[in-house]
Amino acid sequence: MNHKAGFVCIAGKPNVGKSTLMNALTGMKLSIVTPKAQTTRHRIRGIINGEDFQVVFSDTPGIIKPHYLLHERMMDNVRAAFADADVVLLVTDLDEDYDNEELTKVFRELKTPVIVTINKADLSGEDEIKKLVSGWKKKLNPKAVIPVSAKENFNVEELKRMLVELLPEAPPFFPKEEVTDLPVRFFVAEIIREKIFRNYQQEIPYATEVKVINYKEEEGLIRISAEIYVERKSQKGIIIGSKGEALKKTATQARKDIEEFLGKKVFLEVFVRVEEDWRNHEKKLRRFGYESTNDQ
């Protein structure tokens, strides 16, 4: 039997629903989703298998102009995902202007086949979708333009079939029981970061990083310690909140989701620390898992 396998890079502007789509395509919740832009900072792989196929999806950070070294590292992660992609899935939403030359230039210059998805179709009428479909066809001449709703699971199966079709014949790249290549600790830290993005406003989520410092399986319980890093002392106060209530709420929400993710009872403790200027600090970024592509 012929076996298809390959890499699909999910890319586009921030907040268009790339992570929601990755979760819908894989049927897992590997990527965190929030209403705020720039939620995803890493390349997150999600792997799905059939008897005769394997698709390795990469969810990536939204494409932006870098203002911090952190942003440059995020864009390095996007480039790395482009580099090994067999198919690029450009995720757009209804607000997106297909005349955005800056974005379309990136995708036009790719040698890899591109599929354009118009996400959030649940929020739109047929006429608007038709206009967007023909606009993207003219602009990028992609393999296909397909309206989807990642949230409502509309056209997601069709998109998956289309992607498998475009993959080359190859044996699987990862063992068939693996669903990602990232460690459990990464996903635990991401779940905590999701709650921070949802609970705090303005600069706070963007100035925050999370790292799991201890992870220990005990009988019937997983004991986890994590550190939340902010850039300034004043931000630490905001994260903790009056009488520690804000942090308690965040930690409780995170613990519940981590329990669901791991399928086990979890004891979670979180500490808040100040790491001055971490977003622009080479070594601190490396410690948080952001490698420069020049390092590889």
Interface with Mg ion by CB under 5 A: which residues? 18-19, 39-40
CA separation for the pair 104, 88 (Å, rounded)? 13
Of 93, 123, 129, 118, the closest CA to residue 13 belongs to 93
Query: For ligand GTP, which residue of 3, 137, 151, 185 counts as binding (CB under 6 A)?
Result: 151
Extended beta strands in 201-260, E state: 209-218, 221-230
User: CA 71 to CA 74: how far, in whole Å?
Assistant: 5
Choose among Mg ion, ligand GTP, none what residue 37 binds, the Cβ cut-off being 5 to 8 Å by kind: ligand GTP
Residue 123 is a binding residue for ligand GTP (CB under 6 A): yes
Q: Residue 34 binds what, of Mg ion, ligand GTP, none (CB under 5 to 8 Å, by partner type)?
A: ligand GTP
Q: Which among ligand GTP, Mg ion, none contacts residue 15 (Cβ within 5 to 8 A by kind)?
A: ligand GTP
Among 6, 15, 92, 189, binds ligand GTP (CB under 6 A): 15
3-state secondary structure of 296: coil
Establish if 38 lies at the interface with ligand GTP (CB under 6 A). Answer: yes
Q: Which is nearer to ligand GTP, 68 or 215 (CB)?
A: 68
C-alpha angle 278-279-282 in degrees, rounded to nearest 5: 75
Q: Is 34 in the site for ligand GTP (CB under 6 A)?
A: yes
Distance in Å, CB of 31 to Mg ion, minimum: 6
Calpha distance 31→42 (Å, rounded) = 10
Binds ligand GTP (CB under 6 A): choice among 17, 135, 142, 147: 17
As a whole number of Å, the CA-based R_g of the chain is 20
Region for residue 56 given its phi and psi (left: phi exceeds 0; alpha: psi -120 to 50; beta: otherwise) = beta
* 3 state SS of 22: helix
Q: Which of 39, 155, 180, 235 binds ligand GTP (CB under 6 A)?
A: 39
Compose the 227-246 pattern: x for residues touching ligand GTP by CB under 6 A, - for all others: --------------------
User: Contact at 8 Å (CB) between 254 and 267?
Assistant: no
Residues that bind ligand GTP (CB under 6 A): 14-20, 33-35, 37-40, 61-62, 119-120, 122-123, 149-151
